[in-house]
């Protein structure tokens, strides 16, 4: 298993960017489904916003434009 401490700065940054993108895409897919409770929808919306903010912080040059 990959250990974050073993990654170089560039590798870590790419790992973080890809992780945030996966979270964003998952949340978007889930939010597109019917039958979510208000609580589930609220949690996913919060998580989506946090992931978008983190992606913008980690990769401000590209941000959300390459999803």
Residues 8-66: tens digit of each pLDDT: 778 888 899 999 999 999 999 999 999 999 999 999 999 999 999 999 998 887 655 55
pLDDT for 8 equals 77
- Let me know: does 65 contact 37? Beta carbons within 8 Å: no
Q: CA Rg, the chain, in Å?
A: 14
């Amino acid at each position: 298993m990959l250990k974050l401490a073993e990654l170089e700065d560039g590798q870590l940054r790419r790992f973080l960017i890809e992780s945030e993108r996966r979270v964003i895409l998952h949340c978007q897919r889930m939010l597109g489904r019917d039958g979510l409770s208000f609580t589930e929808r609220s949690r996913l919306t919060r998580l989506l916003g946090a992931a978008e903010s983190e992606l913008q912080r980690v990769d401000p040059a590209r941000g959300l434009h390459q999803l």
